[in-house]
Amino acid sequence: MKEKGLTLIEVLVAMGIAATAGALLLVIIVNSAGLFTEQSSKVQEGLNSNDTLSALRRDIKQASAVAPSYTDGLTTYSSNASQLVLKVSSIDDAGNIIDNIFDYFILYLDQKAVHLKIFPDAVSSRKALDRVFATNVDNLKFQYLDSANPPVEVISASAAKVRVTLTLNTKIGTGFTTSTATTEANLRND
């Protein structure tokens, strides 16, 4: 008479197959999680550069001109390849433009962070501001262009358009990746 059940060999073979399948499944899950983290970091990097460039573009479009410089107390900001001084029309409490009165927007890179400082005129209803737009920025470059087609680089005071190039360095997984994004915006010039 034959007994029913599994032999020791059959149980060991089944356990070996189950352990191998479990190990393969674990490898797939770990690799998928790493890929997800890497792709999420890349998406976030793209969003950060887009948000920063959109904000810079909006501020440039508000400006009447690029100012050669602006002095606040002992600090002087000058428009150059790494710093932008925008002359923006002041606004009253109702949001209307005040003729011939200007606020100054300063955009610059400091310790891997893009900063915006707003220095409003005394009669302007715009608030003073010191804001960080983005961090992990390796380089911020401004180019001053005329209105010709194709545009030609000019000195900052005669610019009709500004090109901004932003280089971000972001940690993705165990390494770092560098991405560069560029935008151009025409000044209001009114």
Contact predicate 48/168, CB 8 Å: yes
pLDDT at 40: 64
User: Cα–Cα distance between 129 and 14 in angstroms, integer?
Assistant: 68
Least confident of 9-23, 132-146, 167-181: 167-181
The reported pLDDT for the residue numbered 118 is 93
**Tokens 């920063």 sit on residue:** 52
**Residue 58, burial from CB neighbour count under 10 angstroms (0-12, 13-18, 19+):** exposed
**pLDDT band for position 119 (cuts 50, 70, 90):** very high
Is the pLDDT confidence value at 170 over 50? yes
The pLDDT of 77-94, averaged and rounded, is 92
Task: Report whether pLDDT(168) > 90.
Answer: no
| Predicted local confidence at residue 18, as pLDDT | 92
pTM, full prediction: 0.73
pLDDT at 37 over 70: no
> What pLDDT, on the 0 to 100 scale, is given for residue 167?
86
Among 124, 125, 112, 128, which Cα is nearest to 176's?
A: 112
What pLDDT is recorded for position 190?
A: 43
For the purposes of burial, counting CB atoms within 10 Å of the CB of 56, is it exposed (0-12), middle (13-18) or buried (19 or more)? buried
pLDDT at 38: 66
- Where are the chain's structural domains? 33-186
Portion of the chain with pLDDT greater than 70, in percent: 87
Q: Give the pLDDT confidence score for residue 85 in this predicted structure.
A: 93
Residue 78 has pLDDT above 90, yes or no: yes
6: alpha, beta or left? (left if phi > 0; alpha if psi -120 to 50): beta
